[in-house]
Amino acid sequence: MPAAWSVEREAAARPSLSSERSDVPSGNSLRPRPLHGALLKFYFKVFAEEGSLPALPRLTGSEPLTILPLTLEPEAVAQAHYKACDRLKLERKQRRMCRRDPGVAETLVEAVSMSALECQYQFRFERWNCTLEGRYRASLLKRGFKETAFLYAISSAGLTHALAKACSAGRMERCTCDEAPDLENREAWQWGGCGDNLKYSSKFVKEFLGRRSSKDLRARVDFHNNLVGVKVIKAGVETTCKCHGVSGSCTVRTCWRQLAPFHEVGKHLKHKYETALKVGSTTNEATGEAAAISPPRGRALGAGGGDPLPHTPELVHLDDSPSFCLAGRFSPGTAGRRCHREKNCESICCGRGHNTQSRVVTRPCQCQVRWCCYVECRQCTQREEVYTCKG
């Protein structure tokens, strides 16, 4: 199921972003927090347990090299891996899939962390800034809002992206480089042209998430949004080539398929969030099952058949989103939120106005690299204004 997360108030943006992305939503912690739903049913909080690995002997410095434990016993590795999967609070089928490959548990945690930071970055200027904690998390996931649809999509996209990268990086046992046509893995490894294995990761994610009963319209909506995230990853695949030869000649040309940066995926899904389609529901009197109906704006979403969902590449949702202006079931509100006067104060503060506070800050400036090997900076003081929403 999707995961919800929070970050420290006024924290820096995610590590892979440039320095200009420094405005991140408010919250309490950089650690990803769980959301209860149908996407990834586990908590992404892994604690190191004592006893999960055999204790190393105390060394005195005079031991022969033969007694040093250079590798762990296979049984010990398997035991540690199983415990890591158990701590993720997976469903039975998901736990079984996690245990198949020692690299899965680590990749799951990495995927949620990546998805969390990207969600927070994409919504940093919005009233709902992807900060969900406590009762807000559970309340939001019980409803079919646009925000819930985005969470399902970004989470499935993050898992697909992370798995494909883990395969090509050699961190998984059951997959390796993308086996693209006309590309031999051995040559790809030799020249560094190892493609991201999207075929394996997308198949794994679809099986991991599982299709829900057609009688549950909400579950089918969630699964549809999961697939939208996977499709966005597939749409961003690019072919990268590298030439090899003397004096720049292209005697040998190696090509491989590579995923787009995850930030591009986040931007694409944010656009889909803004254009998400609302579907209503009705009950078929003959079968008693819920079925989708077209939204009021009259956009065609597919017809009839036994499929209660429209065939569309867009995100879909069932309920209208709340304003997120005031503290309530779904949000702590925007009172006290930092905003940018010329960008989003009027929108985020919901017409309540904002407070202005002037403060003096000291930052490193005029930095120079010295040989060898450190950076020397001066400390510059400047006055800046901070804007926060009124309560």
Mean pLDDT (the chain) is 75
3-state secondary structure the chain: CCEEECCCCCCCCCCCCCCCCCCCCCCCCCCEEECCCCCCCCCCCCCCCCCCCCCCCCCCCCCCHHHCCCCCCHHHHHHHHHHHHHHCCCCHHHHHHHHHCCCHHHHHHHHHHHHHHHHHHHCCCCCCCCECCCHHHHHHHCCCCHHHHHHHHHHHHHHHHHHHHHHHCCCCCCCCCCCCCCCCHHHHHHHCCCCCCHHHHHHHHHHHHCCCCCCCHHHHHHHHHHHHHHHHHHHCCEEEEEEECHHHCCCEEEEEEECCCHHHHHHHHHHHHHCCEECEEEECCCCCCEEEECCCCCCCCCCCCCCCCCCCCCCEECCCCCCCCCCCCCCCCCCCCEECCCCCHHHHCCCCCEEEEEEEEEEEEEEEEECCCEEEEEEEEEEEEEEEECC
Predicted local distance difference test score (pLDDT) of residue 22:
39
Residue listed under structure tokens 């395969």: 167
As a whole number of angstroms, the distance between CA 130 and CA 119 comes to 6
Whether residue 304 is predicted with pLDDT greater than 50 in this model: the reply is no
Q: What is the mean pLDDT of residues 29-49?
A: 37
pLDDT band at 250 (very low <50, low <70, confident <90, very high): confident
- Per-residue confidence (pLDDT) for residue 181, from 0 to 100: 57
The more confident residue out of 39 and 167 is 167
- Minimal CA–CA distance to 29: which of 155, 131, 137? 131
Residue 148 confidence class, pLDDT cut points 50, 70, 90: very high
Give the pLDDT of residue 294. Answer: 45
Q: What domains can you pick out in the chain, each with its CATH number?
A: 73-183+191-283 (no CATH), 333-390 (3.30.2460.20)
Residues 6+ apart with CB under 8 A from 150: 119, 225, 269, 270, 272, 273, 276, 315
Q: Which of residues 72 and 157 earns the better pLDDT score?
A: 157
Residue 176 has pLDDT above 80, yes or no: yes
Contact indicator for 193, 256 with CB cutoff of 8 Å:
yes
**Lowest-confidence segment of 184-198, 259-273, 328-342 by average pLDDT:** 184-198
Alpha carbon 343 to chain centroid, angstroms: 26
- What's the burial of 351, exposed, middle or buried (CB within 10 Å: 0-12/13-18/19+)? exposed
Which band of pLDDT confidence, cut at 50, 70 and 90, is reported for residue 212? low
Of 17-26, 42-51, 371-380, least confident by mean pLDDT is 42-51
pLDDT digits (tens, 9 = 90+) for 214-244: 678 888 899 999 999 999 999 999 888 877 7
Average pLDDT over residues 191-202: 81
pLDDT at 376: 92
- pLDDT tens-digit series, residues 260-287: 999 999 999 999 999 999 987 644 433 3
| C-alpha span between 228 and 151 (Å, rounded) | 11
- Assess whether pLDDT exceeds 60 at residue 162: yes
Residue with more model confidence, 309 or 169: 169
Contact at 8 Å (CB) between 236 and 259?
Answer: yes
Question: Stretch 149-154: mean pLDDT, rounded?
Answer: 94
Name which of 288, 331, 332 is nearest 308 in CA terms: 288
At residue 111 the predicted structure's pLDDT band, cuts being 50, 70 and 90, is: very high
Q: What is the pLDDT of residue 20?
A: 39
Higher pLDDT, 380 or 249: 380
Mean pLDDT for the stretch of residues 299-323:
70
The whole-number average pLDDT for the span 146-170 is 94
Report which of 372, 339, 364 is spatially closest to residue 353, judged by C-alpha positions.
Answer: 339
Q: Determine the longest span between alpha carbons in the chain, in angstroms.
A: 82
The Cα 200–Cα 193 span in angstroms is 18
